[in-house]
Amino acid sequence: MARRLGRPGLGIQSGYQPDTWRSGTSPNTGKPAPAFSGEIEDIARPNAVRTIYWALEGQVSILLCALFATTESIADIGALGRLSVLFAIFQAFVVNYPLPEIAKAKGRDTIARLALKTMILSVLLVAPVLLWAAVHPASLLWILGPNYRGLMQHLLPFLAAVSLGQIAAVVYQICTARAWIHMNRFYVPIALPLQVILIYTLDLSALENVILLLGINNLFFLLFNGFMFFRSLQKEA
């Protein structure tokens, strides 16, 4: 049966011979099949600028914190950042279990149901860490060492901001699994001015403002990805 690489995830549709679909090359010339190359370019092109932005964002953030924040606040954020490893199981679950099923799903209702199920499970995986930070923050800070016991009031806001980023990443991975990433071309033109406004508005010498900067950025990440998902879902047959 004739088949080719399909847009939703890596689905299979009619059009090219099986050997062509498996290798992504033409059986006669050995060169990339036109449809295969076109699909890859169609996915990569709108995602390129956002990927470059992400690659540089962390380094730029460190530079800005070094310029505007105090040495103490940078050290504190770095220490709190080590607790992000608690979400490692969260990412492993999302990548290995729900996404392949979402990528192969057909029909708007089925995709929406699987995405909702994934989001609910994601929140349930994040919630215990936040509950731990709210109920007994001292035990979490004990992991960092005695020098960071004074960060108790900042622990929950920081982990809440990180959790927003984790959930936003899940929405983005769902969009990526479906190849719903064409709106990525609008991300940087919106995110960059937002960063500039926040940097000039917030006093980054205060740790709470550094955490607020992180939280607002991750909230924007979540809202943008959510809009991209729902906009693409509406177009799904």
What domain range is 153 assigned to? Answer: 47-235
Cβ atoms < 10 Å from Cβ of 156:
18
pLDDT at 29: 56
- Residue 4 confidence (pLDDT) above 60: no
Residue 31 in any domain: the answer is: no
- Residue 41 confidence (pLDDT) above 90: no
* Mean pLDDT score, 87-114: 84
Residue 2 in any domain: the answer is: no
In terms of Cβ atoms closer than 10 Å to its own Cβ (0-12, 13-18, 19+), residue 50 is: buried
Residue 77 in any domain: the answer is: yes
Domains in the chain, number: 1
Confidence class of residue 230 from pLDDT cuts 50, 70 and 90?
very high
Q: What is the mean pLDDT of the chain?
A: 78
pLDDT at 11: 41
- Residue 191 confidence (pLDDT) above 80: yes
- Euclidean distance between the first and the last CA atom of the chain, given in angstroms as a whole number: 24
List pLDDT tens digits, range 145-158. 888 888 888 899 99
Query: What number of residues does the chain have?
Result: 237
**Whole-prediction pTM value?**
0.77
Residue 128 in any domain: the answer is: yes
Residue 151 in any domain: the answer is: yes
Residue 6 in any domain: the answer is: no
Q: C-alpha angle with apex 159: 102 to 213, nearest 5 degrees?
A: 95
* Residue the block writes with tokens 């979490």: 140
Distance set, CA 40 to CA 27, 36, 44 (Å): 19, 6, 6
Residue 30 in any domain: the answer is: no
Q: For residue 221, which of 199, 190, 182, 177 has the smallest C-alpha distance?
A: 190
Instruction: Decide: 124 and 148 in contact? Cβ < 8 Å.
Output: no
In terms of Cβ atoms closer than 10 Å to its own Cβ (0-12, 13-18, 19+), residue 120 is: exposed
Q: Can you list the positions of beta strands (E) in the chain?
A: 4-5, 12-13
Residue 226 in any domain: the answer is: yes
